[in-house]
Structure 1
Amino acid sequence: MFQDAASSRDWSQGDKMARIADDVLHVLVIFSVILTASCFSPPIKRLWSLGEDPEVHMNATQLITSKGYPCEDYTVKTDDGFLLGVQRIPYGRNATSHKDQRPAIFLQHGLLSASTDWILNLANESLAFILADAGFDVWLGNMRGNTYSRKHVKYTPDDDEFWDFSWDEMAKYDLPAMVTFALNTTGQSSLYYVGHSQGTAIAFAHLSQDLEFAKKVKTFFALAPVVTLGHITSPIKYLAQFDDIISAMFHIFGVDEFLPNSWWLDWLASFLCDKSTEKYCENMLFLLVGFDPVQLNETRLPVYFSHTPAGTSTKNMVHFAQMVNSNKFQAYDYGNPDENKQHYNQPTAPVYPIENMTTPVALFWGGNDWLADPTDVQAAIPQLRNVIYNSEIKNFDHMDFIWGKDATKLYDQIIKIIRKAELVSFYHSVFEPGPVVIQH
């Protein structure tokens, strides 16, 4: 749509005005569609029926207990007043209690998702259940604004202030609050962390800035890692061209929550999908990050679609769009030097220093990922100081890491890495030489 600076100098004044008018028209069309979708839910025919699977109507706790696993629900308060829902699977189906301390592992969902991401497949296919049966104390986090974290000590979702966040706040407040709560509850000093998509971005951000907190994470498993987004093929890149204007319009019209409904999905699907893929395209998450019919179990689609998208703020989506434009792993840009100074004490949005992160990280990324593009992932790897494992899964897309038919092979590798780390830790604790004491 945009030409380079050199060619733009050859435009006539009329051409320039026509191009500006065309761009503004595109913005208005995009915004009007999103605004209408956010405000109204007209009854239209869906491309895919939700069916009669009882899991369609279950919440996270019910999904866990229905498969024979114990579940504990907690509410975690952040320093800025959000109340986050957290689920815990303290032991597997074959255990009877959690009297024996099991290694704690924290699973953090991705963009537009919730803790249910990890429990929507069958028990032998879902990472949370596999880890519980393997002897781990499994914790499932929920970021502010999603289905399970829509409460605040002062604000309600009807207040603009409630939605004034991006993943910056998730990294600064949500992640440390939930991880610290899990450790305090289990009595452990550190745990393993598995993040997917946005769940990796917030970890990279916080672990690179708070090195004391970083000691609480034994190993960081990054699935579909998000650092920079300059090479994405997701439709987000088209909206990113107008991020400033769309952000301003959302603010003017009071559209703070990004939770698209069927009208918006069908509109976007009409441009991106054909008959062979239309059943995937009624879900906003798949439209934004891609889908793989070969890896996805079609019988589970009604369950996936009933639990995602789980919601976030429009500011968060604008933040992702900014990352596309800047190709930097940076904080939210408020658009002018004065406002940036108010938030960051500098005129530009700061870049997160991932090169400072010392936490061991295991990277798993897909060769067919629309959001965590292989080019962006490869550019981030040299900046990370302690990569203990790096694996490209050639045909995986963004969601295959949690719902793909072959995801269990990846999960087996995660468990192997943890077992090795636990063995090394045990060896050092037992055989590490102490001071020499000579008695007379």
Structure 2
Amino acid sequence: MDLRLCLFCLFCILLFHISTCSDDPDLNRSAVELIESRGFIAQVHTVTTEDNYQLTVHRIVNPLCSKGEPVLLQHGLLSSSVDFLINSPGVGNNLGFVLSSLCYDVWLSNSRGNVYSMDHLHLSSNDENFWKFSFDEMSKYDLPAFINYILKTTGYKKLSYIGFSQGTTQMFGLLSTNTSYSSIIKPFIALAPVTTISYTKSALVRVASDTPMLKDYLRSKGGPFVISDSTFQFIARTFCHSKIDLVCLNIIFLITGYDVREMNQTRLQVYFKHTPAGTSNWAIAHYLQMVKSGRFCKMDFGKEGNLARYGQTFPPDYPIDMIDSQDIALFYGLGDWLADRKDVELLKSRLKVPLKDDYAIPVDNWNHIDFIYAKDLGKYVNTRIVNILNEYWLR
């Protein structure tokens, strides 16, 4: 029964992803089109990583502003730069547009393997080797490439970083292994921070992590975590006009936590048309590994694989206690089933530095995806982010 529920959940996400029933103009807009539809200028930059991936960064240019301070927004797992552009119509609660309206220089990065970052200097995305990455590589290669490129382009010596979910995992990995970035990232605002998933309340996530066949397949099979376009289209034709939307939404809440009040159900088709946006099997496997291990560590390839990769039979931990930045702000939800309050407390206990901000959203059921989709995102999250940024940039 539990496995069937997992499959149904994935089915629902796919349903939303390809449905064409909505007449909302944002439904089929790309990141560039979303930016331009709000009156901003969109720039598309290509960043090449040390290991030869070519990644896309979208830049929002406000034609009414002169040079602004750089802010990098990093999306979560299975998502893209669009995370920060689709909460609501207009500028609304969309963090990217809010910051650009305030004359910040907003950059939106796309991790390797999503729809905007599918290129490599030597590998095709049809090559299994293209997909042999998890957040380890995103932390080691993608983030430094994004940061260094933005600093070089803008002439600034520092930038502000706002990460959601996997975007926080990547930055905690980078700051713990390369402390030189502590003087560059000011501040690091972590939305729904994830370094462990030990206390997740999601039965679906726990079932997946307790399924050895699934984990072994994801780990051993290099490739994209996707289902074919023909499957998408079949689901769209069959179920587009059904009443299944609310059922699917409740299944999704079984992963992220329940918060019907904050979900703008009139934009569900927009949200799930743009998500999932792609990642690798390894990326999924790495997070499932974290559920069981209780550790923030590199990907586990088994004893022999670990010995070959790391020189030891188990994957090394990320040394969170070595982070020396005092410019970290944590934002977390009390109803978040993925970044559970207890996991956040565990993260805080491992950090040996004072936090810039320790903010539990004052809404009982605030869940994981509320940090992107909530109707009250502006009130509870964006306003506080703006205040922190203004303080750092002496505005």
For normalisation by structure 2, the TM-score amounts to 0.87
Which residues of structure 2 form unaligned runs of 5+?
A: 236-242
1:15-34 map, 5 Å = none
How much has 1:250 moved relative to structure 2? 4.6
The aligned residue for residue 293 of structure 2 is 326
1:7-86 map, 5 Å = 50-86=21-57
**Which one-letter code corresponds to 1:102 in the other structure?**
G
1:107–1:141 CA contact under 8 A, matched in 2:
yes
Residue 309 of structure 2 aligns to a residue in which SS? helix
Of 188, 213, 224, the residue aligned with 1:257 is 224
Residue 332 of structure 2 aligns to a residue in which SS? strand
**Which one-letter code corresponds to 2:341 in the other structure?**
P
2:215–2:288 CA contact under 8 A, matched in 1:
no
The aligned residue for residue 79 of structure 2 is 113
2:219–2:301 CA contact under 8 A, matched in 1:
no
Q: Matched residues in 2 for 1:257 and 1:306: separation?
A: 18
Higher relative contact order (CA 8 A, sep 6+): 2
Q: Matched residues in 1 for 2:156 and 2:254: separation?
A: 40
Q: Matched residues in 2 for 1:379 and 1:251: separation?
A: 27
The aligned residue for residue 166 of structure 2 is 198
Q: Matched residues in 2 for 1:47 and 1:145: separation?
A: 19
How much has 1:354 moved relative to structure 2? 1.1
Q: Matched residues in 1 for 2:84 and 2:17: separation?
A: 26
Of 246, 249, 273, the residue aligned with 1:280 is 249
Residue 387 of structure 1 aligns to a residue in which SS? coil
2:257–2:336 CA contact under 8 A, matched in 1:
yes
Q: Deviations over 1:142-161 (max 9, x none)?
A: 00111101111111121110
Q: Does 1:181 align with 2:181?
A: no
1:359-398 map, 5 Å = 359=325, 360-384=327-351, 385-393=353-361, 394-398=364-368
How much has 1:259 moved relative to structure 2? 2.1
Which residues of structure 1 form unaligned runs of 5+?
A: 1-24, 267-273, 427-440
Seen in structure 2, the aligned counterparts of structure 1 residues 255 and 286 have a Cα distance that, compared at 3 Å, is: farther
Q: Deviations over 1:318-353 (max 9, x none)?
A: 1101000001111101111x3212211222101111
The aligned residue for residue 418 of structure 1 is 389
For normalisation by structure 1, the TM-score amounts to 0.78
Q: Matched residues in 1 for 2:372 and 2:129: separation?
A: 32
Max Rg structure: 1
Seen in structure 2, the aligned counterparts of structure 1 residues 259 and 227 have a Cα distance that, compared at 3 Å, is: same
How much has 1:214 moved relative to structure 2? 2.5
The aligned residue for residue 430 of structure 1 is none
The aligned residue for residue 309 of structure 2 is 343
Residue 105 of structure 1 aligns to a residue in which SS? strand
How much has 1:286 moved relative to structure 2? 5.7
Seen in structure 2, the aligned counterparts of structure 1 residues 221 and 251 have a Cα distance that, compared at 3 Å, is: closer
Q: Does 1:157 align with 2:136?
A: no
**How many residues are treated as equivalent by the alignment?**
374
Of 384, 390, 404, the residue aligned with 2:374 is 404
How large is the RMSD of aligned CA atoms in angstroms? 2.9
1:50–1:306 CA contact under 8 A, matched in 2:
no
How much has 1:281 moved relative to structure 2? 5.4
Q: Does 1:358 align with 2:318?
A: no
Residue 393 of structure 2 aligns to a residue in which SS? helix
How much has 1:46 moved relative to structure 2? 9.6
Residue 312 of structure 1 aligns to a residue in which SS? coil
Q: Deviations over 1:379-416 (max 9, x none)?
A: 11122213111011132100111110111121111111
Q: Matched residues in 1 for 2:27 and 2:279: separation?
A: 21
Of 225, 230, 236, the residue aligned with 2:205 is 236
How much has 1:370 moved relative to structure 2? 1.5
Seen in structure 2, the aligned counterparts of structure 1 residues 220 and 250 have a Cα distance that, compared at 3 Å, is: closer
